[in-house]
Chain A
Amino acid sequence: MIEAEGVYFSYPTGVEALRGVSLVINSGEFIAIMGENGAGKTTLVKHFNGLLKPSRGRVRVDGVETNKVSVAKLSKKVGLVFQNPDHQLFCETVEKEIAFGLRNFGFPEDMIAKRTDWALNLLGLVEYREVSPFMLSGGERKRVALASVLAWDPDMVILDEPTIGQDQGQKERLRQFIIQLNAQGKTVVIVTHDVEFVADCHPRVILMSQGRIIADGSARNVLDNLNVLDKASIVPPQVTQILLELADLGLPRDVIDLYEAGEAIADLLRRNR
């Protein structure tokens, strides 16, 4: 469980990135943090594993205040996967890359081997075990980065922009994967601009703008609220837009995914027949 209480944060350059953010993330929740560029999304999640400490206010992870414990200790609980895999890959092989975190956390050798195998399998990277991460494609590198964090099995997983540079097939696999992780009881937080991806996942959505939270609720309640979406420079999913245009025909205003939209349209047609 993560609790943020009136968190303010300013970078040394003077930019005030967070201006009083309060929220509670319960264990086992699935959350998407959305908002315009520079809204403070990444700054906020960097507080969750202690990389950044609030200038004012406080952040607690499982009841422990983040400025009382080391980043390493917090990271073992809260796995943060950065947006760009090139900012972390450095080993000769994918296998060593995945084992890096496990070694840092002091797992015994047999455990390292076991967990590395597990993570390679989980993300379909077994065939690349001995390959240099630098030889892989962008999407594969992203998967290695993800595997290298999931390997130590953190209770909470935070993914910063997981869908960037992924094609549709990979996005769908990622979605399945996230939902599976969440179903296993992990807290999952994604930071993203990808409104269609969020609409397909139905998480709790936290909308940020200019360092503040401007909306917090189910995907259905946030993604069809044109007022707040506009403030955060986000357009609603395309199906929502179409159905809103056609609302006078009797179509619902709170549909965000394709499946439901199909049902609603079929309903309407049946009624009018």
Chain B
Amino acid sequence: MLRVLDGLRFRRAFSPLHRLDPRSKFLMACTFFALAIIFIGILPLTLIFLVQIPLVLVARVHREWLRSLRGGAFLAVLIFATNFAVGCFSAGWVVTWDVVLYSTSMAIRFLALIASFSIFFLTTSPDDLGLALEQARIPYDFCFAFTTAIRFVPVLAGEAQTIVDAQRSRGLELERGNFLKRVRNYVPVLIPLIVGAIRRSMEMAEAMEARAYGARERRTNLNVLKLRGADYAVILASVSVLVCAIYARYFLAPPVL
């Protein structure tokens, strides 16, 4: 479970992709997202997936990226199976080539979606993300809550592991019993985790107030995000690809797409 989150965890590094402004990178991720939604055919979806691989290589995050894909693979298989079952059912329990193609393309679509957002999160620091939100004039309290939430995911995951260890040392067997019993086995893990998270947020609020959080209405930042040449290029490329794609899909409308 936690492996999937690992694929979204940012590590500081230098690459052309890391240096891009989060806003232009977000636009790029959204473009991939939109492309994957617009197209249905197996060919364009595979293409959308494949063109992201050079980006991953440039950013040198291929290991983490593959890990998040592996995490998503299970869901992709589930999507394939569901589509396949429903497709066969509505065709009157016959396996047709169309159904196989359609189910495969749906699974690929899902992977393409994961791939694009994984690239975004792997190459964008939570700080930059918060800064981008701030400069989009979103109230600072929300930006702060957002970046804090992201930052505390690994902390919480580590704490969950310690709690599991502590309770197993008291004879708790998580994998034991039927389904309901197994769900109930997690109570001794969840209660300390939630109590700890609440206590930490209280303490953090106090520590923040002690350091004059919210003393000034208008905050200033040491670093200000600025779009550079590469960013304009990415924005231009994203918008034109999107426009072309929409044109190709809805106005040219070749039958296979």
Binding site for B on A (CB under 8 A): 46, 49, 51, 70-72, 75-76, 79-80, 82, 84, 86-90, 100-101, 104-105, 134, 148-149, 152
Contact = CB atoms under 8 A, between A and B. Distances in A.
B192 A86 contact: yes
B211 interface: no
Given A51-B169, A72-B173, A101-B170, A86 B162 contact: no
Interface in B213-240: none
Interface of B: 159, 162-163, 165-173, 187-188, 191-192, 195-196, 199
Contacts of B195: 86, 90, 134
Contacts of A82: 162, 165-166, 169
B192 A101 contact: no
B192 A90 contact: yes
A79 B169 contact: yes
A88 B163 contact: yes
Contacts of B167: 88
Given A51-B165, A90-B187, A100 B170 contact: yes
A100 B168 contact: no
B172 A104 contact: yes
Nearest to B169: A80
B165 A46 contact: yes
A88 B166 contact: yes
Contact of B171 (A46, A51, A72): A72
Contact of B192 (A51, A75, A88): A88
B170 A90 contact: no
A104 B171 contact: yes
Q: Please provide the 5 A-B residue pairs with the shortest distance between their CB atoms, ordered closest to farther.
A: A104-B171, A90-B191, A88-B166, A101-B170, A80-B169
Nearest to B167: A88
Contacts of B159: 87
Given A86-B192, A89-B192, A75 B170 contact: yes
B168 A71 contact: yes
The B interface, classified by DSSP as helix, strand, loop or mixed, is helix
A149 B196 CA distance: 21
29 contacts: A51-B165, A70-B173, A71-B168, A71-B169, A71-B173, A72-B168, A75-B168, A75-B170, A79-B169, A82-B162, A82-B166, A82-B169, A84-B162, A86-B195, A86-B199, A87-B162, A87-B166, A87-B192, A87-B196, A88-B166, A88-B167, A88-B192, A89-B192, A90-B195, A101-B170, A104-B170, A104-B171, A134-B195, A152-B171
B163, B169, B188, B195 — which one has the most chain A CB atoms within 10 A of its CB? B169
B171 A76 contact: yes
Nearest to B176: A72
Contacts of B196: 86-87
Contacts of A104: 170-173
**Most chain A CB neighbours (cut-off 10 Å) among B171, B191, B199:** B171
B188 A90 contact: yes
B171 A148 contact: no
Contacts of B192: 86-90
A223 B5 CA distance: 44
Contacts of A76: 171
Given A72-B172, A87-B159, A87-B163, 16 more contacts: A46-B165, A51-B165, A75-B168, A75-B170, A75-B171, A82-B166, A82-B169, A88-B163, A88-B188, A90-B188, A90-B192, A104-B170, A105-B171, A134-B195, A148-B170, A149-B169
Nearest to B159: A87
A88 B192 CA distance: 6
Given A87-B192, A88-B163, A88-B192, A49 B169 contact: yes
Contacts of A134: 195
A223 B94 CA distance: 78
A79 B170 CA distance: 8
A89 B163 CA distance: 10
Contacts of B162: 82, 84, 87
A134 B168 CA distance: 21
A249 B201 CA distance: 56
Contacts of A100: 170, 188
B164 to A, nearest CB: 9
B24 to A, nearest CB: 31
Given A87-B192, A90-B188, A51 B163 contact: no
Contact of B168 (A51, A79, A89): A51
A80 B165 CA distance: 10
A75 B165 CA distance: 11
* Highest count of chain B CB atoms <10 Å: which of A70, A80, A90: A90
A46 B171 CA distance: 14
